[in-house]
Amino acid sequence: MDSIRVLGDSLQNTEKFLLVERIHQKDRFSANTLVMLAMISLLAILVFSVAFYFLIGEIKQRQNYERQREKIVADLERTNHDLEQFAYVVSHHLQEPLRKLQTFGDRLSQKHAGEQKDDARFLIERMSNTAHQMQSLLADLLVYTELGQQADTSNFEVFDLSEVFHKVIMDQENEIQELHATVEWDQQKRFILGDVARLELFFSHLLQNSLKFVAKNQSPQISIHTFIRQGKEIPFATRSQRSMQFIKIIFADNGMGIDLEYRDKIFGLFQRLHPTGYPGTGVGLALCKRIAKHHNGYIHLADTVTGTAFHIYLPFSN
């Protein structure tokens, strides 16, 4: 019996020892767990603090960039406005001196017609031609700056585009006949909402270029065709324009052609690919682009095998 009692006491002591050891292990594990949680929490706080610091820095940097961008855009807009205002004032005030210069030249030529030598007559004619060219340049600049200063559409009206084609062609009928040119154009009715005078000027410049930039001993052949297109078919249409209908005008000729690498340059102000040998002001296509934009439309140079082709998009009016 004594041996059994001793064995039971031994087992009991062993169990107490194991129990105490387990309790100590549990306490140590709990303490280690708390330390680990504390370290992880501190590390997380540190990481979030660093990330937050860099995020705030990035936001401030972007805000600074945005303020700088807005300032640059505002400065550019103000500069462009000042330049256009200056061009408008200069163009307007130079018109009268040029008219007087032309008048004086005409009077001088008429009054001394019989007394003039060939060189004097040549100089007077050259003076008058230069004054006339300058007057045309100033007239185009006036329209260009007027369209840039405002987006006034109060004089817009609904009209048939084919009537504009007809008038422009009739206005240049003499030159068309002299050059033995042929002009094919759609006579079907296409109604748009716009400024008749501005669009007459638009197509007049295109027609003049087609009659002018043609190879020697070649008769100009010009075609004007119109189609109805959905806005979603135009690659550069805005989101609001994708649901609109447009009149697509293909204005093509058999002239000298323009390399596609100049597709943007030709619409710049005073940009001329042929500065000598051909009369012009260098404003025509720049003015055409601004007139198209004024009508919520587009003009761009198209890829063609021969000659030159412009694709024009103007909003269609039902």
Q: Which domains does the chain have, with CATH numbers?
A: 1-150 (1.10.287.130), 154-315 (3.30.565.10)
Tens-digit pLDDT profile for residues 231-248: 888 888 888 888 899 999
Return the ∠ at Cα 137 (arms to 270 and 258), rounded to 5°: 40
Burial class (CB in 10 A: 0-12, 13-18, 19+), 266: buried
Which residue, 142, 147, 286, 148, is CA-closest to 209?
A: 286
Residue 124 confidence class, pLDDT cut points 50, 70, 90: confident
pLDDT-derived band of residue 284, with 50, 70 and 90 as boundaries?
A: confident
Q: What is the pTM of this model?
A: 0.65
Phi and psi angles of residue 205, each rounded to the nearest 5 degrees, phi first: -65, -45
Q: Which residues contact 228 (CB under 8 A, 6 or more apart)?
A: 190, 245, 246, 247, 248, 316
Mean local confidence (pLDDT), 141-148:
73
The whole-number pLDDT of residue 2 equals 64
CB atoms closer than 10 angstroms to residue 225: 12
Identity (one letter) of the amino acid at 311? Answer: H
Structure confidence at residue 138 (pLDDT): 75
Q: Give the pLDDT band of residue 150 (cuts 50, 70, 90).
A: low
C-beta neighbour count of 38 within 10 angstroms: 10
Give the range with max mean pLDDT: 184-188, 205-209, 216-220.
Answer: 205-209
Residue closest to 292 by CA, chosen among 228, 224, 203? 203
- Tokens representing 168 are 């422009």
The rounded distance, in Å, linking the Cα atoms of 37 and 168 is 85
Paired strand residues for 250: 225, 311
Residue 226: enclosing H or E segment and its boundaries? strand 221-230
In degrees to the nearest 10, what's the CA dihedral of 82, 87, 90, 94?
-170
The whole-number average pLDDT for the span 99-112 is 74
> Residue 137 in contact with residue 87, Cβ under 8 Å?
no
Provide the 10 A C-beta neighbour count for residue 295: 21
pLDDT at 111 > cutoff 90? no
The answer to whether 245 touches 228, Cβ cutoff 8 Å, is yes
